[in-house]
Amino acid sequence: MLDIAILLEDGWPGIDWEELAERAVTAAIAHSPYAAFVNSAATYEIAVKLTSDEEVHQLNRAYRDKDKPTNVLSFPMVQRDLLEGTANTDDGEVLLGDIVLAEGVCAREAQGKGISIADHAAHLIVHGTFHLLGYDHMVDAEAEAMEALEIRALANLGLPDPYGDRETGD
């Protein structure tokens, strides 16, 4: 079972962020090798914080040594090689990690892409969820694999491919 907690700061538009985050996280996990987490007896917890550019800037500087805000940060709590064994927890709960989005960066990027902030945030939450599951995009092969999973999850949400026209294979 998934438990998605939303922490909503001022500045974000008034939409149902809880429902959006739950749909985005569920779609990402369902399109990963960890799809069983969705209906597991164990509870898999993810916190999604929608905050300011300033807070994300501080986090990006502190944890990534990058002195600027970014659209999304992910803070995994379980190493990828340990994810398979997480259903056997002592208390039945697994904290997968935190996803943090910057309102201003997200809004500017959405406007630049000609899409709603909700659709862009859904993509960023999907992206962040894959990071919590151990995916990365530091090398081309990993980036392509992660993007292909994102494209499938977003299609499940009725959202277009954010990376352009590309064959993703099945």
Q: Which residues are annotated as a binding site for Zn(2+)?
A: 127, 131, 137
Strand partners, 73: 100
- Block residue for tokens 């998605």: 4
Task: Show the 3-state SS of the chain.
Answer: CEEEEEEECCCCCCCCHHHHHHHHHHHHHHCCCCHHHHHCCCEEEEEEEEECHHHHHHHHHHHHCCCCCCCEEEEECCCHHHHHHHHHCCCCEEEEEEEEEEHHHHHHHHHHHCCCHHHHHHHHHHHHHHHHCCCCCCCHHHHHHHHHHHHHHHHHCCCCCCCCCCCCCC
Binding residues: 127, 131, 137
Q: Beta strand pairing status for 93-102 and 72-76? A: antiparallel
